[in-house]
Chains A and B, each alone.
Chain A
Amino acid sequence: MGITSRGFPGRRSAADAKLPPGQYLTTDFPVLSAGPTPHVSLDQWEFTINEGTDVLRRWDWKSFRDLPTETFATDLHCVTRWSKLGTSWEGVSLDTMFADVKTDAPYALVHSYGDYTTNLPMDDLMNKQAWIGFRFDDEDLEPEHGGPARLLVPHLYLWKSAKWVRGITLMHEDEPGFWESLGYHNYGDPWREQRYSGDE
């Protein structure tokens, strides 16, 4: 416990119990991005899974949208301390997208339109933990929230859920992504409060 702030009552809420440490509840959907919002047209959109220089799988928007989809509800936790509970999405599970991919690469580097990257262990992308989402609250995902499609890995801080995704490169060595190179935690588990590099 830190030093007490004289005269600070705090504002507790019934939802606090459902929030990871240090988070507060919001009903907005704030936007945090490092640069301008890319506007990607659907006829130019593509998504690839790569390993080294090999393209293992490639989808255009139509073939991507032909994949079986799932609707799911999930909580979102941003490292800037807001959490939004019970958001509803439609997307394609990464289990579906990796169904025919044979790899023993333990890491992934996710790429976005606009050159954003983020790194994750493959284990965090598989087994019903990650999706490429394209509808939010029954509407097409807006560009500022990552549309046409964004990664969702809701068990990690939201910067891992890359907006405007365009591909995943399979890696044999872990390589830090954008924020992971700029002082943020390499893994980013909100329940262990892994915000910044140096957090345990």
Chain B
Amino acid sequence: MWRVGTVIALHDETATARTITLDVPDWPRHVAGQHVDVRLTASDGYSAVRSYSIASAPNSERRVELTVERLPNGEVSPYLTQEVAVNDRLELRGPIGGWFVWRTQQTEPIQLIAGGSGIVPLMAMIRSRASAVSTAPFRLLYSVREPRAVFYRDELQALLPHDNSVSVSYAYTRTAPKDWPRPPGRIDAALIADATWPSKLVPTCYVCGPTSFVESATCLLTASGNSPDKVRTERFGPTGDRQ
């Protein structure tokens, strides 16, 4: 069942990532963390489909926001980040997925850990929390290459003064801002100890990012006492250790 959405806004998050806002008249309510399949069709009928996480909170306006990172050799993402224009129509299937989701009834502490564009479904959870006026305590640990690779920068920055039960920590892997206390590097045990909920609070953890990032972050979470059944993951991209 393919739905048709009309592009109503475009916004560049970074030099390589774009948020596409779609108006989808027959959209059912989604749950934060779910994704959609997007289908592009060439004039001869050839089509290509890829999955993208939904960035927006569930809403009654039947709007769906997707944030797409352009992959260097991608087939669909270059089109979505460079060619698509307002008023274009896109075919969507979804919402899809019932595991990597945060439901507004959840009240336990939530630990979000994002690597790069893995922030997208986690942002939907943060937005869903706000729109549902949930008081569930959230922490986000967001690992990025460099400051200019941060998605949703202003919105994340604006969270703190409003709501001290959402905290955001950044980890920079290649270039940190001037005077940043931690040298650039991957997430390690010390950062997990500083920036995530103590495991004794039994947080539900959502980890999304490239495969190697998710593997190391989940190992650190379980090593620091989080039960594997409280850690939900979404991985993307190649494994890195094989061609």
* Residues of A participating in the B interface, judged by any CB pair closer than 8 Å: 1-12, 22, 24, 26-38, 80-81, 114-115, 137, 142, 144-145, 178-179, 181-183, 196, 198
Query: Which of A10, A114, A179 sits near B75, CB closer than 8 Å?
Result: A10
Smallest CB separation, B32 vs chain A (Å): 15
Smallest CB separation, B179 vs chain A (Å): 35
The 3 closest A-B pairs by CB, nearest first: A28-B238, A182-B98, A36-B218
Contacts of B219 on A, CB cut-off 8 Å? 36-37
Tell me, in angstroms, the Cα distance from A139 to B89 when the chains sit together.
47
Residue of B nearest to A144 (CB): B215
Contacts of B237 on A, CB cut-off 8 Å? 28, 30
Kindly state whether residue B90 has any CB partner on chain A within 8 Å.
Answer: yes
Please tell me if the beta carbons of B242 and A28 are within 8 angstroms of each other in the complex.
yes
Contact with A along B81-110 (1 / 0, CB 8 A): 001000011110000111110000000000
Chain B residues numbered 9-40 whose CB sits less than 8 Å from any CB in chain A? 37, 39-40
Please tell me if the beta carbons of B42 and A8 are within 8 angstroms of each other in the complex.
yes
Kindly state whether residue B43 has any CB partner on chain A within 8 Å.
Answer: yes
- CB-CB under 8 A for A5 and B42, given A10-B75, A30-B211: yes
- CB-CB under 8 A for A24 and B43, given A6-B88, A30-B211, A36-B233: no
Contacts of A5 on B, CB cut-off 8 Å? 40-42, 79, 88, 90
Contacts of B231 on A, CB cut-off 8 Å? 35-36
Contacts of A2 on B, CB cut-off 8 Å? 2, 39, 41, 47, 91
Smallest CB separation, B189 vs chain A (Å): 15
Partner-contacting stretch, out of B48-56, B138-146, B166-174: B48-56
Give the total of B residues in contact with A, Cβ under 8 Å.
47
Tell me, in angstroms, the Cα distance from A163 to B64 when the chains sit together.
34
Tell me, in angstroms, the Cα distance from A33 to B51 when the chains sit together.
16
Kindly state whether residue B228 has any CB partner on chain A within 8 Å.
Answer: yes
Smallest CB separation, A137 vs chain B (Å): 8
27 inter-chain pairs at a CB distance below 8 angstroms, sorted by A residue, are A1-B41, A1-B45, A3-B4, A3-B41, A3-B91, A5-B79, A6-B83, A10-B48, A12-B46, A24-B75, A27-B243, A28-B237, A28-B242, A29-B242, A30-B237, A31-B211, A31-B235, A32-B235, A34-B233, A36-B222, A36-B228, A36-B231, A37-B219, A80-B51, A81-B49, A115-B229, A182-B97
Tell me, in angstroms, the Cα distance from A176 to B175 when the chains sit together.
47
Tell me, in angstroms, the Cα distance from A7 to B51 when the chains sit together.
20
Please tell me if the beta carbons of A183 and B218 are within 8 angstroms of each other in the complex.
no
Contacts of B42 on A, CB cut-off 8 Å? 4-5, 8-10
Query: Which of B2, B51, B243 sits near A28, CB closer than 8 Å?
Result: B243
Chain B residues numbered 207-238 whose CB sits less than 8 Å from any CB in chain A? 211, 215, 218-219, 221-222, 228-229, 231-233, 235-238
Tell me, in angstroms, the Cα distance from A10 to B121 when the chains sit together.
27
- CB-CB under 8 A for A11 and B228, given A2-B39, A4-B43: no
Please tell me if the beta carbons of B232 and A34 are within 8 angstroms of each other in the complex.
yes
Kindly state whether residue B239 has any CB partner on chain A within 8 Å.
Answer: yes
Smallest CB separation, B230 vs chain A (Å): 9
Contacts of B232 on A, CB cut-off 8 Å? 34-35
Tell me, in angstroms, the Cα distance from A67 to B72 when the chains sit together.
45
Contacts of B215 on A, CB cut-off 8 Å? 31, 37, 144
Query: Which of A29, A35, A179 sits near B233, CB closer than 8 Å?
Result: A35
Smallest CB separation, B233 vs chain A (Å): 6
Tell me, in angstroms, the Cα distance from A198 to B75 when the chains sit together.
28
- CB-CB under 8 A for A81 and B75, given A5-B42, A182-B98: no
Supply 14 further A-B pairs (C-beta < 8 A) apart from A4-B43, A30-B236, A145-B239: A2-B39, A3-B41, A5-B40, A7-B83, A10-B47, A10-B48, A30-B211, A30-B235, A35-B232, A36-B221, A80-B51, A81-B49, A181-B98, A182-B98
